[in-house]
Amino acid sequence: MIYFNCDYNEGAHPHILQKLSETNLEQTPGYGEDAYCKEAADLIRTLCHCPDAAVHFLVGGTQANLTVISSALRPYQGVLCADTGHIHLHETGAVEATGHKVLSLPSVNGKISARQIQMAYYDQANNDAFEHIVQPKMVYLSSPSELGTLYSRKELEEIHNVCRECGLYLFLDGARLSYGLAAEENDLALADLASFCDVFYMGGTKCGALFGEAVVIINQELQKDFRYMIKQKGGMLAKGRLLGIQFVELLKSNMELYLSLAKHADRLADQIRYALTQKGYPYLVETTANQIFVILPDKAIAALTQNFSVTYQCRVDDSHSAIRICTSWATRTEDVDSLIHTINTLPD
Amino acid sequence: MIYFNCDYNEGAHPHILQKLSETNLEQTPGYGEDAYCKEAADLIRTLCHCPDAAVHFLVGGTQANLTVISSALRPYQGVLCADTGHIHLHETGAVEATGHKVLSLPSVNGKISARQIQMAYYDQANNDAFEHIVQPKMVYLSSPSELGTLYSRKELEEIHNVCRECGLYLFLDGARLSYGLAAEENDLALADLASFCDVFYMGGTKCGALFGEAVVIINQELQKDFRYMIKQKGGMLAKGRLLGIQFVELLKSNMELYLSLAKHADRLADQIRYALTQKGYPYLVETTANQIFVILPDKAIAALTQNFSVTYQCRVDDSHSAIRICTSWATRTEDVDSLIHTINTLPD
Amino acid sequence: MIYFNCDYNEGAHPHILQKLSETNLEQTPGYGEDAYCKEAADLIRTLCHCPDAAVHFLVGGTQANLTVISSALRPYQGVLCADTGHIHLHETGAVEATGHKVLSLPSVNGKISARQIQMAYYDQANNDAFEHIVQPKMVYLSSPSELGTLYSRKELEEIHNVCRECGLYLFLDGARLSYGLAAEENDLALADLASFCDVFYMGGTKCGALFGEAVVIINQELQKDFRYMIKQKGGMLAKGRLLGIQFVELLKSNMELYLSLAKHADRLADQIRYALTQKGYPYLVETTANQIFVILPDKAIAALTQNFSVTYQCRVDDSHSAIRICTSWATRTEDVDSLIHTINTLPD
Amino acid sequence: MIYFNCDYNEGAHPHILQKLSETNLEQTPGYGEDAYCKEAADLIRTLCHCPDAAVHFLVGGTQANLTVISSALRPYQGVLCADTGHIHLHETGAVEATGHKVLSLPSVNGKISARQIQMAYYDQANNDAFEHIVQPKMVYLSSPSELGTLYSRKELEEIHNVCRECGLYLFLDGARLSYGLAAEENDLALADLASFCDVFYMGGTKCGALFGEAVVIINQELQKDFRYMIKQKGGMLAKGRLLGIQFVELLKSNMELYLSLAKHADRLADQIRYALTQKGYPYLVETTANQIFVILPDKAIAALTQNFSVTYQCRVDDSHSAIRICTSWATRTEDVDSLIHTINTLPD
């Protein structure tokens, strides 16, 4: 079985393992107060053109989401997000477990618009019963989204502007950030993210590291005492340097490894997309990064999944379903060739 | 200004105040462990044909909702409810503040169906990623609903059956229960509620009392240590007898006062509905209890609200909006006459 | 059985009931936005010499405590209090249920000192592992305390000064405030409380009302959006005027009723203390307000409790225990006479 | 600077890194559902003689503590622990943040007794106000404790018996478990832990792994849906196999690596203790595992810490303080020799 079901089936890029081995017996302070974490944070501040950003390294995405959101909000405040948002659907109510309501908005292809956010805000702010309604205070976006789509620079800027107008914090979940940055369609630089968002994170887990998400807090209001939050929520890694070391490897030399790994995955996804398109299969969602959401006849899916593991997404009609095919930094060219070969021979 | 905007503008029925005065200087134990609370609980057990029910008296509905729900659920479990549900829209995230997600379902006129509940359950139970998804464990209904509609005996029985099938607790918010029981359309007896629900409450605040909701826990799994929950959530009234005394007055003699007050309100609402219908106004929702959701030309609303306070519900089109008109146990016949007179003369 | 076990065995002072009856059928807005709540809040602002104070009326003390504390603190912050504090021992973990640690300090007779608070603060602030330790941010005092003692003006001022130095909020639980204000030993005026505390509340439940605690927020940092907190925690009374009406009655004419009821209770407690002292019984704690903590031979307790209900406090030695005797606004002179008669004849 | 301040200054034992490298490009399912986690869990079940135990792998200790405790308790229940307990003092209120009170008991050298637990239980259970008091439901022990001491087999058995008697769950934090198992004084086998505790964990982070704690749930009542809890609290590692691989390496061949690493540390600590004792320094606490709590003249501490990093523990008198010296699996013999040499030459 060859896995195209997700982008975290393997360990880490060998350079990263190598570096972990080299530094293994060094003695460093714990809890992220070591020189590697400092170096990685400095790299990120430079890449973001934001010398005052606070940077923290957490092990995983759910931990990052719940820590950022519960740190930013007062108890009666909630977070707006797409109804496909990871925090809404796939984190077992982690945000609610910290006491905050996730205020879901109908999404189009995994995204929400500035206009929707604005309306949601004014619906509450102008409602006579406002104290009886959760106060929206933060917007959660993911880019690439859970459906593989990207926010454009223009969309993100509009959302940024609405957030400023309404006093909302903008938080972007970049668990797959590198795949977005490397996508053909992308017009957002990392520094744009830093100027549009109050807080965002750069994913490591899905992008070449063993684990790790780099939380970048731009807005100084949100920086205070964040380490208390990390510790309280169980997210402070004793040997924090493991995170620092990995992000230094990924991000040094202007994100050389981070982006090259993502380009690898995106290019292979393009090849798969080409084969699927040639075959005439329609897409559930049009995407350009490392996730493909394609609609296949059930028979074709049955044939495909004899040798390839993919993710079942949803039923489309009586005889068709959508699946997700995912490439990653670790995907082997020969496995893609093999997948394409199989696609070309799928039954109708 | 005459208020038809809600059903809690006045104090309590005079019999209740009278009884509070008569018993005022009696010395009783605190925290609901007095003879009046016991008497009221016994009355309810008898009315429900359920000698093993646990009965607790809380001051308000939000308190009742959050205490019942957080007591019944494990941390990763959530409560299914209509997207119009009070716990979803009008309690400032009180349920989420106890750590639980409200899982909203699209509603029709304030109600959800057995089929929707069943599908929501199996969507999670059959999902490969089930541990990443909040586990539905309770269903929250309100009857009368936030849009004034009632669940029929058949609907409630179907929901009950699905809940049994799926291992879900059924919880009914009866903040306006008496108005439902007294409605023409109603075919549910109190004992039906007790046999279909795991837990429900009988509203006092909106139905003749100064305040108070009687929580009736049928399912013995949910009874254990409920008083700890009440105390922890701040809902244990020091002079608990105030609740007991009020519910004894409302419910004694086979709910005589409780039902007669509701009939009064429902009958007056019927008169108002008759006038609105005669005038040709359409309804946002068809209802039979004490709440009326009618669509009026904006001009007519402007004229009406010069002397009458109603609740603005929503805009319907460029020149029409829906309003809520509410009667209560305290509504005066002459005020209804005056309202009807005004309706009859509203501009088109 | 005559009850001296607590100060909330009866209903309300007749003037209060009378006023509730007189206003019963008035139509007012709900949720504390009526004219009576406004009037009561204005009275309190005037009494406190604090025109900018925010005043909110809640039904009970646990609700007041958990709402104030969870509103003031960030998630990783805790509240310092005496190890005898009500929030630490007698509220079923209500504060922890909102996510905050209660940081208890050893108390002397129910009180803590400025010095203890200062040390607790610097222990955390100067600790290398500070991010691993709950950050103290609020001090909770009760006066009269759970052991009946009062903070003097000087003690409170010192605590206030330490709180300013350390950036701690000072919160005083005044569930029995009137009994303190009326005590012989007392040298604190209400306006002193307002100038020393960031937030405090004036108890109604134990001091003549059916229920109700008036939360007075002096510090403007703590005022924002407090009504959201009240609603979310289930503490927003639908018929909020019931609270406003009661506090107007208690507090009008310079707290005439509030203080006269407390003086009544304190004077009767003085009479009982005199009898106990004459009889040679030692005290567990020396007090001057309405609570008496006296040590009696077990035999004497057995004799006393044949006709009088008191609260068992703790065992002192093999043959002696401490009990609490409580008077209240409703205590009858003849019952005190009868109690004193019994005390005089207790066996050794 | 040579670090003796804690036992997590280095990475992992080289065998573990080696194995992570070897398996790096294998494709496995995520979230701990891979073959390595299964293998490690099977090893633990065998070592514990407990084929029905549930085993879960979490990244860190605070995460393990908060997840286990919040999974086991109902909202109004609390956890008894020593006042030196890690959950009480050094986790930023992580347990309280899940809503539960930590009920601290005075400890002797980091330990509590069966008798204390029994009394704490009956204090609540027999108290008339029991519903106003947090219900103790779990006991948290750490062994080795935060002061380096160990529970004996007899002590643990007594605590187990009291827990059974009182219906309390027994939870043992084994963050430093291997150092305890390898200590000279130890008379507890792993299988004893499994038979005495309802749940415990075996530390990896401090005992040779990069990170990781193996939570072993013996009591089947506590097993249900634990993975939901892990996910919700942010503790589910995407590449769960990293945990499985490490624990297989540590625990295979009857815990060969796990115990040999601990013996190494304990033996070196013995050498340091010998030097300190020879020098005549008294101990704050007598210990036999890898932590040493010794009292030194402040001058000696100043001299020592020029080249060696240790942890300041507390002031003892005007001229003496206690420090903690810690060895670990990674401590080098030559560094211990150097430390001993320095100890031998410390000023008085």
Distance from CA of D16 to the nearest CA of C (A): 29
Which chains, if any, share at least 3 CB pairs under 8 A with chain B? A, C, D
Distance from CA of C92 to the nearest CA of D (A): 4
pLDDT average, residue stretch A228-237: 98
CB B138 within 8 A of CB B112: no
- pLDDT (tens digit per residue) in B126-165: 887 789 999 999 999 999 999 999 999 999 999 999 999 9
Return mean pLDDT, chain D. Answer: 97
Cβ–Cβ gap D238/A8 under 8 Å: yes
Round to whole Å and give the CA distance between B90 and C48: 34
Round to whole Å and give the CA distance between B272 and B336: 7
Cβ–Cβ gap A92/B99 under 8 Å: no
A167 touches chain D (CB under 8 A): no
List residues bridging with D283 in a β-sheet: D294
Which chain C residues are Cβ-neighbours of B12 within 8 angstroms? 24
Round to whole Å and give the CA distance between A266 and A270: 6
Packing angle, helices A153-166 and A114-125, rounded to 10: 10
A28 touches chain D (CB under 8 A): yes
Say yes or no to pLDDT of C12 above 90: yes
Round to whole Å and give the CA distance between C229 and C222: 11
Distance from CA of C125 to the nearest CA of A (A): 12
Q: Who's near D273: CB < 8 A, 6+ residues apart?
A: D292
Residue of C92, C245, C246 best to disrupt the B interface, most CBs of B under 10 A: C92
Q: Which two structure tokens, joined as six digits, stand for D134? A: 């947090």
The count of residues in chain A is 348
Cβ–Cβ gap A25/D12 under 8 Å: no
Q: What is the ipTM of this complex?
A: 0.97
D263 touches chain C (CB under 8 A): no
Say how many C-beta atoms besides its own lie within 10 A of residue D94's C-beta.
Answer: 28
- pLDDT (tens digit per residue) in C277-327: 999 999 999 999 999 999 999 999 999 999 999 999 999 999 999 999 999
Q: Which two structure tokens, joined as six digits, stand for A111? A: 């995204």
Say how many C-beta atoms besides its own lie within 10 A of residue C128's C-beta.
Answer: 9
Residue of C70, C74, C137 best to disrupt the A interface, most CBs of A under 10 A: C74
CB pairs under 8 A between A and D: 135
Round to whole Å and give the CA distance between B313 and B292: 11
Q: How far is CA D142 from the centre of its chain?
A: 6
Cβ–Cβ gap C76/A225 under 8 Å: yes
CB B44 within 8 A of CB B106: no
Residue of B101, B223, B225 best to disrupt the D interface, most CBs of D under 10 A: B225
What pLDDT sits at residue D93? 98
What pLDDT sits at residue D267? 98
The three state secondary structure string of chain B is: CEECCCCCCCCCCHHHHHHHHHCCCCCCCCCCCCHHHHHHHHHHHHHCCCCCCEEEEECCHHHHHHHHHHHHCCCCEEEEEECCCHHHHCCCCHHHHCCCCEEEECCECCECCHHHHHHHHHHHHCCCCHHHCCEEEEEEEECCCCCCCCCCHHHHHHHHHHHHHHCCEEEEEECCHHHHHCCCCCCCCHHHHHHHCCEEEEECCCCCCCCCEEEEECCHHHCCCHHHHHHHCCCCCCCCHHHHHHHHHHHHHHHHHHHHHHHHHHHHHHHHHHHHHHCCCCEEECCCCCEEEEEEEHHHHHHHCCCEECEEEEEEECCEEEEEEECCCCCCHHHHHHHHHHHHCCCC
What pLDDT sits at residue B122? 94
For the whole model, what pTM was predicted?
Answer: 0.97
What pLDDT sits at residue A129? 78
Say how many C-beta atoms besides its own lie within 10 A of residue D19's C-beta.
Answer: 17
What pLDDT sits at residue C295? 98
Residue B272: strand, helix, or coil: helix
Cβ–Cβ gap B92/A134 under 8 Å: yes
Per-residue pLDDT tens listing for chain B (348 residues):
999 999 999 999 999 999 999 999 999 999 999 999 999 999 999 999 999 999 999 999 999 999 999 999 999 999 999 999 999 999 999 999 999 999 999 999 999 999 999 999 999 988 877 899 999 999 999 999 999 999 999 999 999 999 999 999 999 999 999 999 999 999 999 999 999 999 999 999 999 999 999 999 999 999 999 999 999 999 999 999 999 999 999 999 999 999 999 999 999 999 999 999 999 999 999 999 999 999 999 999 999 999 999 999 999 999 999 999 999 999 999 999 999 999 999 987
Say yes or no to pLDDT of A108 above 80: yes
CB pairs under 8 A between B and C: 136
What pLDDT sits at residue D282? 97
